[in-house]
Amino acid sequence: MITARERGLYKLLISLQIIAVMALYTVCAVGTLLIYLDENNVPLQAYGQYALVVLLAMLLESVSRPHSLRPTLGRMRWLATMISRRQWVWILVSLTLMLVFSKDMRISRSFLAVFGVMSLVVLHISNRYMLRWLGNLGLNYMRHWRLRTFILGPRDWCESIMPEVHQLHSLLEIRNVGWTDQEGVSEEDYLEMVAKEPVDLLVMPARHLPDQSVMDLMRQGDKLGYRCWMPIELSRRYGRRFDLQKVGCLDILTPPVEPLANTWNQLLKRGFDIIFSLPLIVTVVPAFSLLVWMIHRRYSPGPLFFKQDRVGQNGELFKVFKFRTLNVLNENEARQVSKNDDRIFKCGRMLRRLSIDEIPQFINVLLGDMSIVGPRPHMEQHDFQFREIFERYGVRRYVKPGVTGLAQVKGFRGEVNRPRDLRHRARLDNFYVSHWDLYLDVRIVVMTAITMLIPPKTAY
């Protein structure tokens, strides 16, 4: 019932946000058009088309938003910034695409800038406070909004669950708490304890109570008109979150689904990869190929590209392309490159430090083996070693490897000397997998450009 109410609040929140953003758009557009009032050609139709683009962008974002980012009353303050950023990126990308493909020069760029800044403010304020305001509105003006709640179970369990119930104070009201581990309390007393109170909801731990008592309490709920909650204890027991999903006729408990498991997000990321990599392959890759070829001819004649098997998505091997920075003849290509590695030819260290050797990997991106942003691909034998160091190392395989990644822009790149280096890197990769959105990809690309100009100490 609470989930249904929160879904309703979510839909209401999205509707109010769309109204607020469209009202803001109208105010900004009217203010801009008043400036051009004396001109003969006022682009009313163009502003209307852009308004439709904003509306569609917000609708598509809300539909494609992963469930982990759909706000609830208990988690809204933690998600407000991330959700606002996601909505804002959708609006900006949609407006930019419309601007590029329509080639309409009549739209005021100052209008787009003002609307862009103000829309982020409106979205953040509404995400931060509106859901709580809607909950309090229901609490104050709807008689049966709050559910009268009875908590039944061992004393320690009741005390541990109460703070979480209190987070839903605008939806739940704790009327009483019954301890099943009190002296003199039998299984027959459970029914009487609950029946004494006029309650709408009974919260009890199924694993701490006899099966027959649970069944009797549920039957009594059907008779007296209260619902039963039985919190799943797996999250507390194993220290990980689980979501309940329906697959066919099966109810499945599973870890939260990653954003890139969503087909729409996959298409969005693939589109970003192609749009970003194709111009670079046409312009940047040939230019740097000529530069590196000249360096090779001078210091280390041999193949221009270095090709090596790397582990990609789902553990599949693929050939990664890089500009060669090591001498053609060396004893072990599988050995990690160290700081003062004598296998690197003159000027090769510069290519590595400025990440020029990674440029051919945009070809891998266009081929679909890699993405612009993602965990860096490792050799298969290194994968075998690293997964023994970090127990959740395999999570990075859920997505395509990237030319750049969150770990790299945070300074964790180059040789892995200690288990701690690998753990820091893998944790950042796993964070990226669990929290992907388009804004995060754009942010990592910008940070990568900065690190190319100011390389970290681990770049060698």
Question: Which residues, including other chains, have CB under 8 Å from residue 20's CB and lie 6 or more apart?
Answer: 122, 126
Is the distance from CB of 303 to CB of 319 less than 8 angstroms? no
Counting Cβ atoms within 10 Å, is residue 191 exposed (0-12), middle (13-18) or buried (19+)? middle
Label residue 330 by pLDDT band (50, 70, 90): low
Is the distance from CB of 161 to CB of 151 less than 8 angstroms? yes
Specify whether 285 is located in the same domain as 303: yes
Task: Quickly list H helices, 196-262.
Answer: 211-224, 234-238
Q: What is the CATH classification number for the domain harbouring 216?
A: 3.40.50.10700
Region 23-34: what's the mean pLDDT? 86
Query: In this predicted model, what pLDDT tens digit does every residue of 179-218 receive, in sequence order?
Result: 887 777 777 788 888 888 888 888 888 878 888 888 988 8
Label residue 257 by pLDDT band (50, 70, 90): confident
Specify whether 72 is located in the same domain as 135: yes
How are the residues of the chain apportioned to helix, strand and coil, as percentages rounded to the nearest 5? 60, 10, 30
| Any domain includes 127 | yes
Between residues 442 and 348, the one the model is more confident about: 442
Query: In this predicted model, what pLDDT tens digit does every residue of 47-94 receive, in sequence order?
Result: 888 899 999 999 988 888 877 677 666 566 678 888 888 899 899 888
| Any domain includes 400 | yes
Which residue has tokens 């946000």?
A: 17
Region 239-243: what's the mean pLDDT? 70
Q: Which of 257, 278, 300 corresponds to the end of one domain? A: 257
Specify whether 438 is located in the same domain as 389: yes
The per-residue pLDDT for 344 is 77
Percentage of the chain lying above the pLDDT 90 cut: 18
| Any domain includes 153 | yes
Specify whether 253 is located in the same domain as 270: no
Distance in angstroms (rounded) separating the CA atoms of residues 379 and 78: 37
| Any domain includes 276 | yes
Total domains in the chain come to 3
Structural domain range at position 332 = 261-453
Handedness of CA 10, 14, 19, 25 (dihedral sign): positive
| Any domain includes 247 | yes
Specify whether 247 is located in the same domain as 152: yes
In the chain, the N- to C-terminal Cα span, in Å, equals: 57
Q: Which of 257, 291, 316 corresponds to the end of one domain? A: 257
Distance in angstroms (rounded) separating the CA atoms of residues 362 and 321: 9
Which among 106, 131, 89, 134 has a CA at the least distance from the CA of 32? 106
The per-residue pLDDT for 414 is 65
Between residues 402 and 192, the one the model is more confident about: 402
Between residues 128 and 36, the one the model is more confident about: 128
The per-residue pLDDT for 142 is 62
Specify whether 25 is located in the same domain as 152: no
Specify whether 169 is located in the same domain as 90: no
- The pTM for the full model equals 0.66
Asked whether residue 371 carries a pLDDT value surpassing 90, the answer given is: yes
Which among 62, 457, 118 has a CA at the least distance from the CA of 264? 62
Asked whether residue 354 carries a pLDDT value surpassing 60, the answer given is: yes
| Any domain includes 178 | yes
Specify whether 224 is located in the same domain as 316: no
The per-residue pLDDT for 372 is 94
Label residue 368 by pLDDT band (50, 70, 90): very high
CA distances from 106 to 22, 44, 55 (A): 20, 10, 20
The per-residue pLDDT for 76 is 66
Specify whether 173 is located in the same domain as 66: no
| Any domain includes 379 | yes
Region 379-398: what's the mean pLDDT? 84
Name the pairing type of β-strands 147-153 and 201-203. parallel
Label residue 336 by pLDDT band (50, 70, 90): low
Query: In this predicted model, what pLDDT tens digit does every residue of 263-322 receive, in sequence order?
Result: 888 999 999 999 999 999 999 999 999 998 998 888 888 888 888 889 998 889 999 999
Label residue 225 by pLDDT band (50, 70, 90): confident
Asked whether residue 141 carries a pLDDT value surpassing 70, the answer given is: no
Spacing of C-alpha 212 from chain mean position:
42
Specify whether 335 is located in the same domain as 253: no
CA quadruple 320, 272, 13, 83: dihedral, nearest 10: 50
Hey, what are 394's tokens? 């395999």
Question: Which residues, including other chains, have CB under 8 Å from residue 85's CB and lie 6 or more apart?
Answer: 437, 439
Chain mean pLDDT for the chain: 82
Task: Please give the full DSSP string across 130-150, using - where no structure is assigned.
Answer: IHHHHHHHHHHH-TT-SEEEE
Spacing of C-alpha 172 from chain mean position:
29
| Any domain includes 459 | no
Is the distance from CB of 91 to CB of 54 less than 8 angstroms? yes
Specify whether 96 is located in the same domain as 24: yes
The per-residue pLDDT for 317 is 92
201 sits in which H/E element: strand 201-203
Label residue 342 by pLDDT band (50, 70, 90): low
Hey, what are 238's tokens? 């194993």
Distance in angstroms (rounded) separating the CA atoms of residues 353 and 203: 58
Specify whether 126 is located in the same domain as 159: no
Task: Please give the full DSSP string across 436-454, using - where no structure is assigned.
Answer: --HHHHHHHHHHHHHHHHS
Q: Which of 257, 275, 301 corresponds to the end of one domain? A: 257
